[in-house]
A and B are shown apart, each in its own frame.
Chain A
Amino acid sequence: MTSLNGAGQIALEVNNLQVTYYTDSGRVKAVDGVDLTLKAGERLGLVGESGCGKSTLALALMRMIKPPGRIEAGSAIIHTDMGSIDLLKLNEEEIRQARLSKISYIPQGAMNSLNPVMRVGKQMIDAMRSHIPRASERELTERAEQALESVELKRSVFRMYPHELSGGMKQRVCIAIGILLSPKVIIADEPTSALDVVVQRQVMETICRVQEKIHAAVILIGHDMGLMAQITNRVAVMYAGKLVEVSTVREMFTDPLHPYAQALIRSLPNLDNKGIFQGIPGLAPSLLRLPSGCVFHPRCEHAMEICKSAPPPKSVTPAGRFVSCHLYDEQGNRAHVTGHKQKPVASP
């Protein structure tokens, strides 16, 4: 793995995670057989179009999927010094304990994520108190103020109400809450989407710094490929509920394997190719009526006969890259290269 300072032991191991929403118009497989491994201290970017299941994946790890959604299968194991726990097998009380202390979540809508009638400090103490009920008020106050300082806020924010803070400050408070109990895994769901670009960058740097300090693994969900390139170590690309490729950030941007990832990278504005923007033809499929075989085949420029009928294998290259595409065999070598290439199949 490139540029992973101190990354070693595995922090989170997700296997075959499946989440289904039972809607009136049918079953929607929002997350369909996702495998993912995160090392301590690592930053993974999770990208994909709106509705591809990124947030559902995050909520499933927090065990916050509400009916009509259901986690159908899979495991999500967090490895700590005190042993391993499968988040998906915990009961209500155990998962409540695990939230924030083992795995924490930094919300998307930070503008509105703080209780408007409660002082910031009380909300932080509230969070800690529900995990360490016997701690003294002074100890918790000190810890909360330290957390505020570590996200570059003044200690006085402790006594302020959310409406007295700016958007960036509110987002920082949410980050401070997220790291209060030094979790092993932090999920940041588009944490900067409501902020302007300058503040975005500052907030992102804050997340990275505190994450390095507590040596947590971070899953950063978002659309902003530029931000991903700067911040993350690895990037996972999701399409219609499935992971299609997981590679290091360098490999992803220079040599993406999966045709969807290739199209995604090509669609980015490029200094060498000024003025030419290339979109991805077609639309993301409705999760209610997924195409047969490989879900990407109707939009894929490399689609072959087999793509229409058989789901692609999950391959891992010798370099540790994950790709799920018929162009590659189980070892991730380019297979079927001799197979007749086809024009893109028209959308159904």
Chain B
Amino acid sequence: MKIGYLVRRFLFLVFVVWTAATVLFFIPRLSRVNPIRERFAEIQRSTGYAPRDLENIIKAFETKFGLDKPLIEQYLDYMGSVLRGDLGVSLMRYPRTVVDLIGQALPWTVILLTVTTLLTFLIGTGIGALAGWPRSPSWVKGMVTPLMVLAAVPGYLLGLLLIYFIAFRAKLLPLSGAYTTGRFLGPELSIEFILDVARHAILPALSLILTSVGFWALGMRGMGVTVQGEDYVNFAEHKGLKQGRIFYWYYVRNAILPQVTALALAFGSIVSAGILVENLYGFPGIGSLLNAAILANDFFVIYGIGMITIVAVGVSMMIIDLTYPLLDPRIRYDRK
């Protein structure tokens, strides 16, 4: 691989991130709502406290956060501070910074979604590969249909059912949260804590896995049906290879290529994939944080999460672009 290609690919990544970040900056601003005024209205509603000099206080905060400047100036300021690694302060949880809030929520989401994305990919691709293989028993081929029905159900709806039957009625698993708050003061490194987290993660993970395994299975089956009819699979059998070897090295190995691309994209979007399910289970991840930020018009938190999502998608796309030649020798970047 040529250095020239690497450089071009990296510049492309920067361009993508910058474009997306620009769009992201202006969209929340289309709303006329003033987040600081809203915040004080909220305080007034819940506590009955109304400061006397409200207009001046709002102005003071606007000046402090730079919200009184022209939009284009705010944009340049924001882009500048992002380059310095500063994502600003949260408007709803002032004086906590966006980096702080995200840093607290991100590990939860990354752990939950990495595990579920990987499991979904493995299970779905496996079922799809078997379903597309002509020698599979018919009950295996039939498995794709119920999985597709499940895939048509949104994760949060299935989540409601799971909460009701498994957590509420049968009391087998906790209702919500990421760990038992009464038992632990905060995250700690102990076997008990990890087991507790795992127990809390089962239902959110199930809601995510069951509702998306069908897509992976369907995609893999589609490719598999095409590949199993290819001449090289036939010729492999003519060569007298064992079925297992044909299945893996000739069939799966070729059919899986588009799945791997999809997996990279899925990894890029794990930050945003579980938003609804996280909210449903009160899981302290990025999804819950984003939900709260949108409700409060907390521009800087929205921007921060958006930036992470954009960078994650862009970087995983770049990684898959750079590693794809290892999977498919027909793709190479060193040609002129």
Determine if B235 and A114 form an interchain contact, defined as CB atoms under 8 angstroms apart: yes
Task: Indicate if the CB atoms of B241 and A126 lie closer than 8 Å.
Answer: yes
What is the size category of the interface that chain A forms with chain B? 20 to 34
B235 with A174: CB separation less than 8 A? yes
Check A115–B236 contact: CB distance below 8 A: yes
Task: Tell me if A113 and B241 are in contact (CB < 8 A).
Answer: no
Cβ–Cβ contact B231 & A104, under 8 A: no
| B239 interface residue per 8 A CB criterion | yes
Q: Is the CB of B242 within 8 A of A105?
A: no
Identify whether the interface residues of B are mostly helix, strand, loop, or mixed: helix
In the assembled complex, the Cα of A282 lies from the Cα of B232 at a distance in Å of 37
Interface residues as binary, A63-107 with B (CB distance below 8 Å gives 1, 0 otherwise): 010100000000000000000000000000000111111001101
Contact B327 A117 (CB under 8 A): yes
Contact B231 A109 (CB under 8 A): yes
Q: Give Cα A107 to B327, complex, Å.
A: 26
Q: Does A131 contact B (CB under 8 A)?
A: yes
**Smallest CB–CB gap between A133 and chain B, Å?**
10
Among the listed A64, A114, A116, A126, which residue makes an inter-chain contact with B245, where contact means beta carbons less than 8 Å apart? A126
Kindly list chain A residues whose C-beta atoms are within 8 Å of the C-beta of B250: 115, 118
Q: In the complex, which of the residues A96, A101, A115, A130 contacts B232, with contact meaning CB atoms closer than 8 Å?
A: A115
Question: A177 near B: Cβ within 8 Å?
Answer: yes
Residues of B within 8 A of A126 (CB): 236, 239, 241, 245, 249
Query: CB distance A116 to B330 under 8 Å?
Result: yes
Known A-B contacts A112-B231, A116-B330; A100 and B238 likewise in contact (beta carbons under 8 Å): yes
Residues of chain A within 8 A (CB-CB) of B234 are 64, 107, 113
Q: Is the CB of B232 within 8 A of A112?
A: yes
Tell yes or no: A302 within 8 A of B by CB. no
Query: For residue A130, which residues in chain B have a CB less than 8 angstroms away from its CB?
Result: 239-242, 245
Quick one: closest A residue to B331, CB to CB? A163
What's the least CB distance linking A326 to chain B, in Å? 39
- B93 contacts the other chain (Cβ, under 8 Å)? no
Say whether A127 contacts B253, CB under 8 Å: no
Contact A116 B232 (CB under 8 A): yes
Q: What residue in chain A is nearest B251 (Cβ atoms)?
A: A115
Q: Is A62 an interface residue, CB under 8 A from the partner?
A: yes
Does B329 lie within 8 Å of A64, measured CB to CB?
no
Separation of A107 and B239 alpha carbons in the complex (Å): 11
Whether B134 is near chain A, meaning CB under 8 Å from some CB there, is yes
Which residues on A sit within 8 Å (CB–CB) of B330? 116-117, 161, 163
Nearest CB in chain B: distance from A104 CB, A: 7
B235 touches A113 (CB 8 A): yes
Are A117 and B253 in contact (CB-based, < 8 A)? yes
The contact sample of 8 A-B pairs, CB cut-off 8 A, is: A66-B134, A96-B242, A116-B329, A117-B328, A126-B249, A130-B241, A163-B329, A174-B235
- List A residues at the B interface (Cβ < 8 Å): 62, 64, 66, 96-101, 104-105, 107, 109, 111-118, 126-127, 130-131, 161, 163, 174, 177
The 5 residue pairs across chains A and B that have the minimum distance between CB atoms: A99-B240, A127-B239, A112-B231, A105-B238, A113-B235
